[in-house]
Amino acid sequence: MPILPPAPPRFSMITGLPSASPSGVLISRAAMSVPPPAGKHTIMVICRSGYSARAAEHVAPAAAIKIIAGSMRRRIRPARGRFDMGALLLGVFYCPMIMAAISAAVMRCAGAAGRTNQIAQGAMTNSFDTIIIGGGAAGCVLANRLSARSGAKVLLLEAGPDTPPGKEPADVLDTYATSYYNDAYFWPDLKVHWRRKDNSPPVHFSQGRIMGGGSSVMGMVAYRGTPDDYAEWEAHGAAGWGWADVLPYYRKLENELDFTGDLHGRDGPVPIRRTKPEDWAPLSKAVYAFAQERQIPFIADMNADFRDGYGAVPMSNWPQKRASAAICYLDAGVRARGNLTILNGATASGLVFEGRRVTGVSARIGGKAQEFYAREVILSAGGVHSPVFLLQSGIGSAGHLRDLVFVGLLQHRDARQAELVRPHPMTAFRYSSGLSGAPRTDMYINVQCKTSWSPLGFQVANLAPTLLKPMARGRISLLAGDAGRPCVEFNFAGHELDLKRFMQGFRRVVEILTHEKVRAMTGVTFPVKFTDRLRRLNRITTANKIQSAVIAAMIDLVPPLAGPIFSTLADRRVDLAALVEDDDALAEHIRQNVAGTFHPVGTCRMGAATDRDAVVDAAGRVRGIAGLRVVDASIMPTVPRGNTNIPTIMVAEKISAAMTDEARAAA
């Protein structure tokens, strides 16, 4: 069973509460507004200042691009039902980078893709050198780098819609993560348990199903992690993955816009930039005053200065548009290569075997089953779907295959617990808990000055304490009798040290909220629980927009109404002052409200040949199976201290370079 190594959980507070139990803070419009530079800004760690900018320019599509596009279902449904003020508020306040506009552009793109498929499919070959399953961040990198050799025929399969150059939907391009709330870009019906299945209900888990994967829908935070993370990888048996080994590939992917020197690259496809302190929102500046009074260092470049401190969050975007892996690695020039075939709307359904060698992939395209063959198949389906795909193909723990028809195929060594990373937030503190047994730089507090697309989202801030290095492990298994559905249990707060650090982080957030300058621009403080109800009410609908505008106007006109209105965001009224003084009550509050970010890792982790928990070797090759690699976040031995998009791109850059060298040597 894939085991999920420490998955970072979090809480969030509106109006200034921690992220171990989602909460929010009501802030004045003055605290939210900042003189907008070109486009939208991001403040500290994953924080955007709240300004959305549509892309000003697009890359013109090439006429001879070889793309076989599948059909895409229209999963967007009009909102129905009555107004639900409490639920709306819940949704509007909690998730920062969430505002999904269901644009006509998406549907136009889908329609065009379907027509292309009908024209081109008859002439398409079914034999390749390499097949890549999954057009996420890693898949886009692999498709680019491996097809750079003109003699290598490469097929990229993506289950979701494509985002061709010049035809990217507006919500994908937006520098605020508007696409996060467009259900058309996610796997439907993927549910997880934040803790275990016996003590927490299943909730929706957002995993991108679109060209670019998570890089097309996530918050664009561009952390690398710290050198300690990669020393940890090597200690887990991932030889050749230390800091000195991975740094060249971080430099290769980067177009660093703010800093120079040996630690950064300037010629890569992915722009990295930060918001200058003078452009921060007033609330972020007030939190910075808290940091200065406590002599917490300012970290200008969190990707090169690895001290604890408060700093600007590195972002992977341009001022006018998102920099997804699809945009950066699959531009018109790359797509015009005659040896690269991109097939979207194509859902891989299984592997083709000859004995213990993988020789191809079965896929469904437009409802039709097809097979494609290759000398090597690369699985890049992500931290949840890669291990599930292996299990469904008969590769994995025997104990979790006994109810599947594939059980006789092969008994692979345990692809046990996979590490689920929790997502990490906005303007931020990166710090060490200092607790016995905890590694350094194990904590993070996100300061988010805009929490939704709606008028109300401009009035609500969010502070969320996060565990960067959790101790608890989760797991992924297949549900008995249902080969297609995984059971994902993150087991957040399942380790005593994790719980203690959450409690510490929660109290730290409350301390920040009581600081004079922070208190001067905040109002009601309340905890928020991250639920499916919240997610539904954060969708962009006419009903939600009207409710949000009415509520925002009411609060502006009659500020005392804020308390009663926002109290509906919590399951019950919580006295925060009393809560932080009661260890038992705080611990239970955290257990009931902990939630994750959306960055699972370690489910197919790298390791030494003697390590029974290792699924792949240091080159991503699946142990015991020829012709199959896994290249995505699932092979990371442990979760890095930060979001996983940029580390995933690095992993794909490094392994694709090694594969290219191998191919040239063989030739």
pLDDT in tens, 92-102: 333 333 233 32
Instruction: At 80, list the tokens.
Output: 């129905």
Q: How far apart are CA 559 and CA 573, in angstroms?
A: 19
Q: Report which of 31, 512, 15 is spatially closest to residue 281, judged by C-alpha positions.
A: 31
pLDDT reported for residue 115:
31
pLDDT reported for residue 87:
36
Answer whether 421's CB lies under 8 Å from 218's CB: no
Which of residues 524 and 378 earns the better pLDDT score?
378
pLDDT reported for residue 398:
43
Instruction: At 26, list the tokens.
Output: 């009501």
pLDDT reported for residue 58:
27
Confidence of residue 59 (pLDDT cuts 50, 70, 90): very low
Confidence of residue 449 (pLDDT cuts 50, 70, 90): confident
pLDDT reported for residue 562:
82
666, containing H or E segment: helix 645-666
pTM comes to 0.81
191, containing H or E segment: strand 191-193
pLDDT digits (tens, 9 = 90+) for 293-350: 999 999 999 999 999 999 988 999 999 999 999 999 999 999 999 999 999 999 999 9
- Average of per-residue pLDDT across 82-97: 35
**Beta pairing, strands 357-365 & 368-379:** antiparallel
Q: Residue 56 above 70 pLDDT?
A: no
Backbone torsions φ then ψ of 534, nearest 5 degrees: -65, -45
Contacts of 506 by beta carbon, 8 Å cutoff, 6+ apart: 11, 17, 18, 20, 21, 465, 580, 586, 590
**Beta pairing, strands 357-365 & 346-354:** antiparallel
CB atoms closer than 10 angstroms to residue 615 = 32
- Amino acid occupying residue 257: L
**Hey, which residues does 351 pair with through a beta bridge?**
361
Q: Residue 107 above 50 pLDDT?
A: no
Q: How far apart are CA 596 and CA 175, in angstroms?
A: 23
pLDDT reported for residue 667:
82
pLDDT reported for residue 427:
72
Instruction: At 453, list the tokens.
Output: 């697309």
Instruction: At 517, list the tokens.
Output: 């300058």
The alpha carbon of residue 330 and the mean position of all alpha carbons in its chain are separated, in whole angstroms, by 20
Q: How far apart are CA 266 and CA 639, in angstroms?
A: 26
pLDDT digits (tens, 9 = 90+) for 8-33: 555 444 332 223 333 444 444 344 43
Q: Residue 420 above 70 pLDDT?
A: no
Q: How far apart are CA 358 and CA 389, in angstroms?
A: 13
pLDDT digits (tens, 9 = 90+) for 555-571: 888 888 887 777 765 55
Helices (H), 526-644: 532-537, 542-557, 562-566, 576-581, 583-593
pLDDT digits (tens, 9 = 90+) for 627-639: 999 999 999 999 9
Domains and CATH numbers, the chain: 3-50+81-666 (3.50.50.60)
Instruction: At 614, list the tokens.
Output: 């290792």
Q: How far apart are CA 210 and CA 212, in angstroms?
A: 6
One DSSP character per residue, 567-583 reads GGGSSS---HHHHHH-H
**Beta pairing, strands 67-69 & 340-344:** parallel
Instruction: Summarize the chain as % helix, strand, coil (round to 5).
Output: 35, 20, 45
Q: How far apart are CA 172 and CA 157, in angstroms?
A: 20
pLDDT reported for residue 266:
97
Contacts of 278 by beta carbon, 8 Å cutoff, 6+ apart: none
Beta-strand ranges (E) seen in 588-647 are: 595-596, 599-600, 628-630
650, containing H or E segment: helix 645-666
Question: What residues act catalytically?
Answer: 599
First vs last C-alpha separation in the chain: 39
Q: Residue 605 above 60 pLDDT?
A: yes
Q: Report which of 327, 319, 345 is spatially closest to residue 165, judged by C-alpha positions.
A: 327
Backbone torsions φ then ψ of 296, nearest 5 degrees: -85, 125
- Amino acid occupying residue 388: V
Q: What is the CA radius of gyration of the chain?
A: 23
Q: Report which of 536, 442, 456 is spatially closest to residue 204, judged by C-alpha positions.
A: 536
pLDDT reported for residue 1:
52
Cα angle for residues 74, 80, 86 (degrees, 5° grid): 120
pLDDT digits (tens, 9 = 90+) for 206-240: 999 999 999 999 999 999 999 999 999 999 999 99
Q: How far apart are CA 331 and CA 336, in angstroms?
A: 9
Which of residues 409 and 555 earns the better pLDDT score?
555
- Amino acid occupying residue 181: Y
Burial letters for 308-345: b for 16+ Cβ neighbours within 10 Å, e otherwise? Answer: bbbbbbbbbbbbbbbbbbbbbbbbbebbebebbbbbbb
Q: Report which of 94, 312, 322, 138 is spatially closest to residue 220, judged by C-alpha positions.
A: 322
Helices (H), 15-136: 29-32, 85-94, 104-120
Q: Residue 79 above 50 pLDDT?
A: no
Q: How far apart are CA 71 and CA 519, in angstroms?
A: 52
Q: Residue 75 above 50 pLDDT?
A: no
Helices (H), 278-342: 282-293, 325-329, 332-335
Q: How far apart are CA 613 and CA 397, in angstroms?
A: 10
Beta-strand ranges (E) seen in 393-512 are: 417-418, 420-421, 427-431, 443-448, 460-467, 474-478, 486-489
Confidence of residue 399 (pLDDT cuts 50, 70, 90): very low
pLDDT reported for residue 421:
32
Burial (CB < 10 A; 0-12, 13-18, 19+), residue 244, is exposed
Q: Residue 121 above 80 pLDDT?
A: no
pLDDT digits (tens, 9 = 90+) for 135-182: 999 999 999 999 999 999 999 999 999 999 999 999 999 998 889 888
Q: How far apart are CA 234 and CA 236, in angstroms?
A: 5
- Average of per-residue pLDDT across 493-518: 94
Tallying the residues shown for the chain, one arrives at 667
Question: What 3-state DSSP class applies to 493?
Answer: coil
Confidence of residue 481 (pLDDT cuts 50, 70, 90): low
Answer whether 145's CB lies under 8 Å from 156's CB: no
Q: Report which of 652, 646, 667, 657 is spatially closest to residue 223, judged by C-alpha positions.
A: 646
Instruction: At 468, list the tokens.
Output: 């960067």
Helices (H), 121-203: 137-147, 170-173
- Amino acid occupying residue 130: T
Q: Residue 118 above 50 pLDDT?
A: no
Maximum Cα interatomic distance, the chain, rounded to a whole number of Å: 75
pLDDT reported for residue 124:
65
Burial letters for 137-174: b for 16+ Cβ neighbours within 10 Å, e otherwise? Answer: bbbbbbbbbbbebeebbbbbbbbbbbbbbebbbbbbbb
pLDDT reported for residue 344:
98
pLDDT reported for residue 24:
45
